[in-house]
Amino acid sequence: MAIALLPLCEGETIGSNLGRYRDFAGLDSTLVLRRRLFGHSCKPDTKLPSGVIHLAEESRDYWGLTAGEIIRGHTEFHYATLTMSESEKAKVFSDMLDQPRGGCVRRSAYGWIGERVAKFRYCEDCLLEWGAKCITPYWMINHQLHGVYFCPMHSRILKVASNKFSGNITDLTVATLKRSDDEEILASASWSERSAGADIARRSAIYSAANEPLPPATRYREWLRDAGFVWPNGKLDHHGVVASLLAHFGPVYCQLAGLSRQRTTIWLRNIADVTKDLESSHPFVSIAVASLLDRRCASPGSFVPAISNSIGFLGAESSTECGETIDVGTKELSCIGVLHRSHDAWKDCMPKGGQWRLVCSCGVSYQASSVLDGGRTDLSVEAYGARYQNHICRMLANGVHAEAVSRELHLPIATVLLLARRAGNVRRGAPSPVELQCMRNRWSIIVQNARPDKRITSAYRVDSRLYRTLRRYDREWFVAFNLTNRTHVPRGRCATSRGGPDKPFGPGKNVSADGNGYYAPQH
């Protein structure tokens, strides 16, 4: 007789469904239930269970799914076998259909990679949608995949259940584990790091649904070459890839996901060997590297080779006056511009005094000395062109803060603001709430580090523009903060405004009004 299981929800794990049945039936554990459903002792934390034919038979009246549909739609089969050959995938599929041989149960198709985040992860937006449709919350496969800390549907940071549990005794549900103090996994991540993490979630969901195959090893080699991670001698720049992954995803994400230098280096060594493919490697590393390289090489505003500026100038052939494209060994040089693309090339190489001026088609101009000496030289960035100005303007127009733009393009904030100003993109209106908060934080730090006897006056001298901006657009907070943090003076000494009441801008200072009726500390 078939067991009256609850219907499987879309993308729900088998363990989640059995856990919901346990709560409904009031069972203490699902171990006995699992033995009956699978025909053997199948632990709750098994990712790729065996005996699925037996499970399909036992659940046919309530799930109505074949064994193949259960494997493909409610296990990590597609994701786990992503880097396997077709014959290996068929072998894993066959093992999952039948009972385990010799008591050996395959819990995973790949080895442990050191992820430090529990598998019980959920999305608050998904819970709200399910609640509106009267759907009981459940664990989604796409939320539990390795390195997935964002919801693929909502791009919201997932929360991880903080309740203590023993995953090998019974199947647990969202209702059992969820608590009000559950925290988001990457709450402190920057805008660019969140974007990178959300891309991992999106890609993992696509692969988990078998909508796309993983790119072949040859494609990865092309990406690495186009991104500038291949040295002139043909060897891979392992350090450059590792450093770029760390900058792309952030140190917190890399630590939580187990994306270490050692594992990345091993993956790179395998990919560099033309006799090997991606077989027998963990799919997460391949997905993470693909996310980085695809962004650098394929999309507009891609990212650039992490190659040293000090490169030999070889094989000078000719020189000309200004404006013409020439070859003075520029094939041996590498542009380090963040928006450099695979099709960009050196456009101009012009003499400038005792040095040379090199211009890449991506818009970065360099100064280089002794180009024709046949020795080594250092490139120094001289200017950034229209591509950088346009990219900065697009990001600022989309509400991205200048600090995030600075991190994205690896440029100082002053350079970002200068390029935006030249492009006419400096906003003259009121700052956004996020920008105001950043200004508040900066002003607080300046005041705290100011001279104790003249805090506000000293802070004003450090950044008078910030003083005037906060005074104009955030006056209520600004006055209250300065009143609280000003230096307290003995009675009889007070700051007075011209023809008005005392203004608590600082200790023992006169204040004078500007054209707008606002006051600045004066001595």
> In the predicted model, what is the mean pLDDT of residues 333-354?
71
The chain-wide mean pLDDT, for the chain, equals: 78
pLDDT at 303: 36
pLDDT at 2: 64
Strand partners, 71: none
- Measured CA to CA in angstroms, residue 158 lies from 133, 209, 279, 396 at distances of 21, 20, 30, 27
* Range from 6-15, 291-300, 405-414 that averages highest in pLDDT: 6-15
Q: What is the DSSP string of 42-81?
A: --TT-SS-S-HHHHHHHTTTTT---HHHHHHHHSSHHHHT
Alpha helices per DSSP H over 169-214: 174-177, 191-208
Q: pLDDT tens digit string along 426-464?
A: 555 577 777 788 789 889 988 888 888 888 888 888 888
Q: pLDDT tens digit string along 74-83?
A: 999 999 999 8
Residue 29 confidence (pLDDT) above 60: yes
Domain layout of the chain by residue ranges: 217-297, 311-384, 387-422, 440-522
DSSP H or E segment with residue 92: helix 86-97
Alpha helices per DSSP H over 424-474: 433-448, 455-462, 464-473
Q: pLDDT tens digit string along 161-199?
A: 887 766 567 899 999 999 988 989 988 888 888 989 999
pLDDT at 403: 76
- Measured CA to CA in angstroms, residue 326 lies from 83, 233, 331, 465, 496 at distances of 45, 24, 11, 46, 68
Report residue 474 as tokens.
Answer: 């955030």
Query: What angle do the packed helices 386-397 and 413-422 form, to 10 degrees?
Result: 100
> In the predicted model, what is the mean pLDDT of residues 333-343?
76
Placement of tokens 């459940």 in the chain? 138
Judge whether 76 and 208 are in contact, CB under 8 Å: yes
Residue 358 confidence (pLDDT) above 50: yes
pLDDT at 421: 74
Report residue 269 as tokens.
Answer: 């060594």
**Cα–Cα dist 2/94, whole Å:** 23
Residue 498 confidence (pLDDT) above 70: no
Band of pLDDT at residue 310, cut at 50, 70 and 90: very low
pLDDT at 334: 72
Q: pLDDT tens digit string along 203-251?
A: 999 999 988 888 888 889 988 888 888 887 788 888 889 988 998 999 9
Give the side-chain half-sphere CA count within 13 A for 341.
Answer: 13
Band of pLDDT at residue 142, cut at 50, 70 and 90: very high
Band of pLDDT at residue 490, cut at 50, 70 and 90: low
DSSP H or E segment with residue 378: none
pLDDT at 423: 66
CB neighbour list of residue 84: distance below 8 Å, 6 or more residues apart: 92, 109, 279, 280
pLDDT at 188: 86
